[in-house]
Amino acid sequence: EAQEQEIAELKKQVNLLPEQLRLARHRQFGKSSERTTDNQIRLDLVFNEAEVEAQPEAEEPTFEAVTYQRRKKQPGQRDAMLADLPVEQIESRLPEEERICPCCGEVMDEAGVEIRREHVQQPYACRTCDKHGTETPMVKAQMQRPPIPGSLAFASMLAYVIDKKYLDGLPLYRLEEQFARQGLRLTRQTLANWVVLGATRWLDLIYHLLHEELLQRRYLHADETTLQVLHEPGRPAEATSYMWLYRSGQDGPPIVLFDYQETRAKEHPKRFLEGFKGYLHVDGYSGYNEIPDVKLVGCCA
């Protein structure tokens, strides 16, 4: 009876081994949206996290909305969240040459002060005209406009979040935790909105200017690399996409631009380099062969 029990247990183990082997092979060789090679970083985690997490229609949360969802919103809670953080006051003043009265030519004096959060705007009035004239000319120093109106994200904050995410590869949930340790309760959705708005409103302008400058250079480099993008509408997670890279030569300040495309079709570099007339340093991929007015330079040339 003991032998029969031992034999039955061994048979169960033998029957389990093929299934374990099949699962091991699938993990090693099968397709998976989480699988990458040693030489291919997860670019999808870097490039499309902001778009996935962003909620443009949602208002930027206050301290109360982030930490106490059930409590009724109270005035001044955003100020309470910022109360213990260091504040840098930004003053907007005019130099003397821009404070000349248009009526009498005298230099205008400071006339009170206008404060909006940490921004101090200085108005100026002409004392001479105030005493002897019929009206008093006034001018104001132009106040810095925030990159996202009504938001906590001033230019330096916006630059910090984008730099940490794309240069240091820090996911937004870790940035969320980092700010929380400093007493600043910002949700991942808020940070994602900042990244998307910062890119579409500001960096996009710089990108197009750099693209125009790139096409005027004499020497360029181009290459393409594969990546996976999760949650892309109409495409499975295992689909292969391409990031095309273009770089200037040494005939001026360096310019490096990325161009995301779903395929490796030749139309992409042809479209991106339209107007470029010079030497293009590429590998042997035939997709570069039909770019007009371009002299291809091989890798070892």
The residues spanned by each domain of the chain are 45-76+155-210, 94-140, 216-297
| Rounded (5°) CA angle 195-201-207 | 90
Dist. CA 275–CA 280, nearest whole Å: 13
Q: Which single residue is written with the structure tokens 């870097």?
A: 46
If you average pLDDT over every residue of the chain, what do you get?
A: 83
CATH superfamily name and code, 216-297: Ribonuclease H-like superfamily/Ribonuclease H (3.30.420.10)
Contact 31, 238 (CB under 8 A): yes
User: How is residue 221 written in tokens?
Assistant: 């480099």
Residue bearing tokens 């730099």 = 163
CA dihedral angle for residue 263, residue 264, residue 270, residue 271, rounded to 10 degrees? 20
Determine contact, residues 262/235, Cβ cutoff 8 Å: yes
**Helix boundaries (H) for the chain:** 2-29, 43-47, 49-53, 63-67, 77-82, 127-132, 155-166, 172-181, 188-198, 204-215, 267-272
Q: What is the pairing mode between strands 241-248 and 109-110? A: unpaired
Name the token pair of 131.
């005493």
Single-letter residue type at 91: E
The per-residue pLDDT for 239 is 92
| Alpha carbons 166 and 197: distance in angstroms, whole number | 15
- Relative to beta strand 256-261, strand 241-248 is antiparallel
| The pair of three-digit structure tokens given for residue 74, joined into one six-digit string | 């109270």
- Contact criterion met (CB below 8 Å) for 194 and 175: no
Q: Report the candidate in 191, 178, 164 with the shortest Cα–Cα distance to residue 53.
A: 191
Ranges in the chain, pLDDT < 50: 34, 36-41, 63-71
Give the Cα separation of 232 and 144 in Å (integer). Answer: 38
* Alpha carbons 38 and 239: distance in angstroms, whole number: 18
At 140, is the secondary structure helix, strand, or coil? strand
* pTM confidence score: 0.63
Rounded distance between C-alpha atoms, residue 123 and residue 195, angstroms: 34
How far apart, in whole angstroms, are the C-alpha atoms of residue 188 and residue 287? Answer: 40
Helix, strand, coil distribution of the chain in percent, nearest 5: 40, 15, 45
Which residue type sits at 143? M
122, 110 Cβ separation under 8 angstroms:
yes
Around Cβ 53, how many Cβ atoms within 10 Å? 19
Say what angle helices 155-166 and 188-198 make with each other, to 10 degrees: 100
How far apart CA 61 and CA 190 sit, in angstroms, is 7
pLDDT computed for residue 173 by the predictor: 93
pLDDT tens-digit series, residues 137-187: 888 877 778 888 888 888 899 999 999 999 999 999 999 999 999 888 899
**Predicted confidence (pLDDT) per residue in 100-147, tens digit:** 887 777 788 777 777 666 677 788 888 888 777 667 788 887 777 888
